Structures are given as C-alpha cells and as structure tokens.
Amino acid sequence: MINYPIKFHPILKEKIWGGTKLVTKLHKKSTLKNIGESWELSDVEDNISVVSNGILKGKTLRELLETYKNELIGVNNYSRFGNNFPLLIKFIDAKEDLSVQVHPNDEIAKKLHNSFGKTEMWYIMQADAGSKLIVGFSKEITPDQYLNYVSENKIASILNYENVKAGDAFFIEPGTVHTIGAGILLAEIQQTSDITYRIFDWDRVDDKGNPRELHTDLAMEAINFKDKIRAKHQYSTYINSLNTIVKCEYFITNFIHVVGEKELDYVESDSFVIFMCVQGNATIIMGEFFENLNFGEIVLIPATAEKVVIASKNCKLLEVTV
C-alpha cells in the first residue's frame, strides 16, 4: 500500500520561446538555456516521471501504476485508463509568445495519433506588465475566411487578446485557437497528450534559419468555428476552503488558500490528488508522513489516502483530481 505524499523529478524542456523564470523563480536546477516547460508529472512516452522521495525513490510513474493500480489512481480511473496516467502537469515560462495553436479532441486524436485529445487549463502564477494571452477569435469567422487570413499571413489580426494577472484562470477546450503570451509564468493541467497543431509562429525561424512547421490542414479539422469561446473562469477565493475553478470530465481543479491548517477528507474519494503550489510553501501531512511543498512544486497523493492536512502560514495551492 502507498501511504505517503510522492514527489517527482521535474523534466525540463528547452524551447525557442523559453526563458529563465523556471530557474530563478521556481528554483529548478538546470544549466539549460531558454527553459520553457517543466513537466512535473508525466506519463508521455519517453518522458515518464521518476519518483524523487521516500521508499519508492527511483521508480517511474508507469511502474507505480503497474504495481499499485487502483490504489494509486482509484478504482474508476484504473478501469478507465489502465496503466496510463490520465494527466500531464506542467509549469510554463513564456519569455516570448508561443506559437498560435490548437489541440484536437479525443475523437480526432484517437483516429490520427492513437492518443488522448488535449483539454487543458492554465493558472497564471506571475505575469509581467502588459502580458496577454490569446484565446479564440475576436469575431465570428467561417473556415473559408480563416484560410484566407492564414494564406495572407494576417491571422494575428483576428485573434482575441486577453490581459492577464496572477490568479487568473483559463479553460482551453480542444478546438480553441490559443497561445501563451510573452512574460507569463503559469501552471498547466492537461490530458496526457503532446499533440499540438501549429497555426502561426510569428514568422520565427529555428536555429538553422528554417521556418517552423505549420499544421494548417490538421488545424482546420480541429478548430471549433461554431461556439463562442469563454475561456476565462471566475472562481471564489475563500480562505481554507475548496474553491472550484474547473470541473470537466477530464479533471477537477480547486483553488485552496491555506492560512494555518486545512484538513481534507478523502475517505469517500476514488481518485488520486495532485497539489500544485502556486504561491508560498506548505507542509503536506499524510498520517505519520509529511513532505514540504515549495512554490513551483507538486506532490501526488495516492487514492488510498483518507485524510490529508495542509499546514502553512500562507500559501495558495491547486488541488487536482479526476
């Protein structure tokens, strides 16, 4: 039986648009330059997380699933996902704008890539003055109009820009055209998928001087032209309470502002829990075991946990379950 809070080694990714905040603000240890992403919990092939603490230190997430099954992720989750962990958890630092992109839904991803689709959410941890996100279009357009904008290299003129600040949260459904803008540090929760269709990349070139590949045809199949996008989610911020930000079929994310102690009862729960520290630091206590959780770290609580205590002078966490 797994009976302690599990931490993992982050997997750091250099990106053309990455910066230094994952090292300077989140204290990730690396000599890489332009680090854009820290994959905190991953079951993506060739990028599987490794435990960094306790008696399971050195084991991979996949090994934990194969050994502990529903004890780790819950009975219903194990029947649904088997030995595949359903979420990919990241911190992202955009020194420059990411490419404008779109993600496929489950149906398209299964058909074309034998993969999960990519539903995701963002929580803004820090944003430089004037930082913006792109979510959706600024007006209704048809697929034919969209293709004209793409062919004329004018797609940036019809995108919807959103000013952001720390604490803002956005839910990005498959089919939503989007990008993270320069100056933003955020937490990302998503389905386990690494599939992205790039629409526009600000005319950037790679280190060999070549334009980065665009996926215009694939994007056309994935984009939702029908529904008005309401990506920004409002939520309450009551202290020592579970404040729901997003509840969808792939994950539930609650915001918890802890001052002092908060006890959480998971006796009736049938899911693992992930805590992401998005401000301050805390101690996560599970029976006789405890782990310190610092700003920019995550911890996995197995589905067998009945009660968890969070102790902190003042911290903000995201609680993620399925």
Q: Just list the catalytic residues.
A: 198
DSSP 8-state class, residue 184: E
Determine the Cα–Cα distance for residues 22 and 26; give it in Å rounded to an integer: 5
Q: Which amino acid is at 51?
A: V
DSSP string, 67-118: HHTHHHH-HHHHHHHTTS--EEEEEEEESSPPPEEE---HHHHHHHHSS---
- B/e letters for 62-76, b = 16+ CB within 10 Å, e = fewer, are bebbeebbbbbbbee
HSE-CB at 22 with a 13 A cutoff on CA atoms is 30
- Residue 292, classed as helix, strand or coil, is strand
Task: Please count the other Cβ atoms lying within 10 Å of the Cβ belonging to residue 141.
Answer: 15
HSE-CB at 185 with a 13 A cutoff on CA atoms is 20
Determine the Cα–Cα distance for residues 241 and 223; give it in Å rounded to an integer: 37
Determine the Cα–Cα distance for residues 258 and 165; give it in Å rounded to an integer: 20
